[in-house]
Amino acid sequence: MTQAPLILEGAAHLLIVDDDDRIRSLLKRYLSENGFRTSTACNAGEARTLMASVTFDLLIFDVMMPGENGFDLTKSVRAISNIPVLLLTARGLPEDRIKGLELGADDYLSKPFEPRELLLRVNALLRRTQSAALERRELKFGDCVFSIGRAELRKNGELVRLTAAEASLLKALAQKPREPMSRESLAEQTASAMERSIDVQVTRLRKKIEEDPRAPIYLQTVRGIGYALMAD
């Protein structure tokens, strides 16, 4: 008996829109086998119905669809959303690629293509989107708010001066809030020469974050592992 593909909880949800039943089915099976949740539509109208009720992480549109084509659909999606769009087309003309990108598509793949290349492009687009979202993210802990992208800490609305080492450490911890991180991992991410220097930076950060640095609430020591930032 064939084993069903493993779809991880929280896996990215992709929408594949193509009027070719065979291609649509092949892409759905291949991407599902590689851990994605996938939905399909055979035309723009069906795609709009799905997008109105389901939140997707990435859209894959065939350009040469009858009626409303992939260019038209991309333009309308881009007017209301920044969701990544990957266009597929049997025409690899430079002017077509330029038109697609001008309308707001994030990437363009000419048919025929290797499924592996599609997978690599999908993963690259998702990484780029997730990285951009993380850069805009702010974490709150107690009276403090930390902007990850700007590596900027404010306490009670006032800017707190951080050294480069302190900002780097806080950014590393903020990317995985409430998750214990080892000194070794933090040293690698912050380019610290020694794990011991992480302890020194943590002590300094606690004086800027905690009401009582000797009894920390937000920048906690996790015995036997390292440290964790307990964001709200």
For the beta carbon of residue 183, count every other beta carbon within 10 angstroms.
18
The 3-state DSSP class for residue 150 equals coil
Asked whether the predicted pLDDT for residue 3 surpasses 50, the reply is no
- The domain spans of the chain are 13-135, 138-229
- Two structure tokens written together for 130: 């997730």
Question: At which residue do the structure tokens 């049997």 appear?
Answer: 90
Confidence of residue 11 (pLDDT cuts 50, 70, 90): confident
Q: Using DSSP, state whether 90 is helix, strand or coil.
A: coil
pLDDT, one tens digit per residue, over 28-48 is 999 999 999 999 999 999 999
91 Cβ neighbours under 8 A, 6+ residues apart: 63, 64, 110
Contacts 24+ apart (CB under 8 A), 204-207: 204/163, 204/166, 205/162, 205/166, 205/169, 205/170
Q: Looking at 48-62, 116-130, 133-147, 198-212, which range is the least confident one?
A: 133-147
The 10 Å CB-count burial string (b at 16+, else e) for 147-164 is bbeeebbeeeeeebebee
**CATH class of domain segment(s) 138-229:** mainly alpha
Question: What's the rounded mean pLDDT across residues 216-226?
Answer: 94
% residues pLDDT > 70 (the chain):
91
Question: Is the pLDDT at 92 greater than 70, yes or no?
Answer: no
Residue 4 has what pLDDT?
39
**pLDDT tens per residue, range 96-141:** 778 888 888 999 898 889 999 999 999 999 988 876 666 667 889 9
CA 202 to chain centre: 28
User: What is the torsional sign of CA 67, 71, 76, 80?
Assistant: positive
Tokens representing residue 45 in the block: 């109208």
The yes/no answer on whether domain 13-135 falls in CATH 3.40.50.2300 is: yes
Mean pLDDT of 209-225: 94
Residue with tokens 């708010």: 145
What's the confidence (pLDDT) of residue 8? 40
User: pTM of the full predicted structure?
Assistant: 0.59
Higher pLDDT, 193 or 110: 110
Q: Which of 43-47, 89-93, 167-171 has the lowest mean pLDDT?
A: 89-93
